[in-house]
Chains A and B, each alone.
Chain A
Amino acid sequence: MARSEKVLLDVRNLKQHFKSGRGKNKMVVKAVDGISFQIHEGEVFGLVGESGCGKTTTGRSIIRLYDPTDGDVLFRGQRIGGGTEAFELDLKELKKSLKTVQDKDSDEANQYKEKISELRVLIGEIKKDNAYKGETVETLKKIQMIFQDPISSLNPRMTVREIIAEGLIIGGEKDNKVIDEKVFDILKIVGLQPEHAHRYPHEFSGGQRQRIGVARALIVEPELLIADEPISALDVSIQAQVINLLRDLQAKLNLTILFIAHDLSVVKYFSDRIAVMYFGHIVEVAESDLLFKNPLHPYTRSLLSAIPLPDPDYERTRIRFDYDPRTHQYGPDNMPEFIEIEKGHFVLASPKEIAEYEEMIKENKKA
């Protein structure tokens, strides 16, 4: 697999909070709470975690199905999504402080005013980048997504040609001949027949429907494909078809893929690097072989120990252990940070734990 160190997607301290209710009932769900990672060009980046940990939300925030609360998403260095909440809170504070200043012309007041105008410019820039026009839209086209459920993600009233061509038409393609040609080509690439273009989704089997979803994503020639649990709704043998297809396409078209899944053996098989997510945080990122050989964070180890593998010898010796977040004893003086503990191996750890993990790495190297 072609690998390069060139960063394609850079996610910096991304936060995605959902708010509901008002006043007393106000609730904030911190689905994604400050995650950072980079995806390199041409690699498959796996994102695993249990349900409800925010992995799907991450994918959806990157492709801007949600507007991020805070943090930045950069594609080839260009911001395609950013959150303004932290800045807006700062702005409020500054305005309050300005009000308390008696003398409106004093140095203090002027300083505040300057800061406020700086922040306003910053927020304006982010909002401009967030708007669906100009360069942002052009760049967002290069990111496409395939969804978990091939039945509900295809419109039952549209033919396959209409479904696949929709992206092209929205992109401004008007010539029917060109559209037909492209649709037929892409159908062949994903392993369907050109005749299938005039059928409806219900006429296909589960695996074929997922192929239609892949074709729809690929027709606009994306550089980054976000695959959100593309195989969990499928039968075992069909899962293999879809994984093989994605792997072939990845090699043929030099795609970069963000692969979101909860099945660890599939993720291990498919990904170059893997990030493990737990309750809105990424706890560990490493190359897939390294992560499986040398997991550091207790949650990663617990997750690895929970997965049954089709191998009775292994199953007889497997001992599962539970992860208890309280064991970290994080406090104000023992805050975890996301650090690179060895080359290409990132882990969320407090200063105390860093020492522990370094010890573990040394021991593993000896063994």
Chain B
Amino acid sequence: MAERKKILEINDLRISFRTQQGELHALRGVNIDLYKDEIQAIVYQSGSGQSVTSRAIIGILAKNSIHDGGTINYYDEEALVSKDAQYIDLMQIEEEDFHKLRGTKISMIFQDPMSSLNPIMKVGTQISEALFLKMGMTRAEAKERTLELMKEVGIPEAEKRYYQYPFQFSGGMRQRIVIAIALANDAEILICDEPTTALDVTIQAQILELINRIKKERNLTIIFITHDLGVVANMAERVAVMYAGQIIEYGNVDEIYYDPRHPYTWALLSAMPDLETDEKLFAIPGTPPDLHFPPAGDAFAPRNHYAMEIDFEEEPPMFQISETHFAKTWLEHEFAPQVEKPSAVVRRMERHIKVMEAK
């Protein structure tokens, strides 16, 4: 892990929004390291701040946002923006400089392929637009490159499809177009915000395979935001679990699924049945906290029956469990009592041990 090159680094990022009810503290100190050529997943429950994180990286935060602190450092090898510094802080640079990065270095695909495409523009034009506006290609060159891209993302009869409108495409095909646009300028980092939620299982599987394939072909670095733990298990190498504007657990995919430490991760893992679940599902009681008034201690404490007194008083630090595994819970403190993990989690761990032994 140490040899891998860091490409993006988010340090203690804090972002709030001015709303009618006061300031909403959407991100309360997020730390993420992103290495080259990896797929990192962010798992969340609605309203945890996952979208704010991705929007901050690509620089499309809403106007009412306030940057309370922290940095997003992008390691700019080609020195597109600044020649002196080793890295640039994406929270500080001017919009004009951001133009040099957006699309060419960092790109994003969204959940709903219908609303991220222009309905009255031919898809070919939409893809080639990025090419001749940014890469300085002529229209003929752009068209040729577009057709290549369309074939790369698996659209049959690209020559014919080039002149069609988004409504003539199915949901899966539309998402392929969106991916083609995102990749048009050879971006290094691709942020996928729930790219398959609006799609059917079989189509979802195809799109995930496509993302995996182009990731390998192009050495992409991917941030994959999803609530679907099945998709994460399929795609990600490292996983960050997000709750109430903070990363509460962070580790390799095996560590998160087979050795989870934070009670919220336990809850998430036992809330959905897998093919062997037989007992009652664990439902997380209550609702996420109102981030206009962020709680003093551990944000998950009021919904957590493992919560101790200190959870309500003081925010836990990130405890390091292994070289790659971190959890933000007082249960990892040396004075914390031993607790019994939920049975669904224990069973999962046992199953994994069996699998490992079989190998």
Residues of A bordering B, CB below 8 Å: 50-51, 205, 235-241, 243-244, 247, 262, 264-266, 268-270, 292, 302-303, 306-315, 318, 320, 322-323
Contact = CB atoms under 8 A, between A and B. Distances in A.
Contacts of B89: none
Contacts of B233: 308-312, 314-315
B271 A237 contact: yes
Contacts of A239: 271-272
B355 A313 contact: yes
B272 A310 contact: yes
Contact of A265 (B231, B257, B275): B275
B352 A313 contact: yes
Interface of B: 45-46, 200-205, 208-209, 227-234, 253-254, 257-258, 267-269, 271-275, 277-278, 280-284, 287, 348, 351-352, 355
B227 A235 contact: yes
Contacts of B230: 265, 307-311, 315
B232 A240 contact: no
Given A307-B201, A320-B209, A237 B273 contact: no
Which of A262, A302, A311, A318 counts the most chain B CB atoms within 10 A?
Answer: A311
B274 A236 contact: no
Contact of A240 (B204, B229, B282): B282
B275 A312 contact: no
Given A310-B229, A310-B257, A315-B234, A266 B201 contact: no
B272 A236 contact: yes
A269 B273 contact: yes
Contact of A312 (B204, B254, B280): B254
Given A268-B275, A307-B230, 7 more contacts: A235-B46, A240-B284, A265-B277, A269-B277, A270-B273, A311-B230, A318-B234
Contact of B45 (A50, A236, A266, A308): A236
A312 B257 contact: yes
Contacts of B281: 240, 243-244, 269
Contacts of B352: 313
A292 B275 contact: yes
Given A265-B275, A266-B273, A309-B230, A237 B200 contact: no
A240 B274 CA distance: 12
A20 B230 CA distance: 40
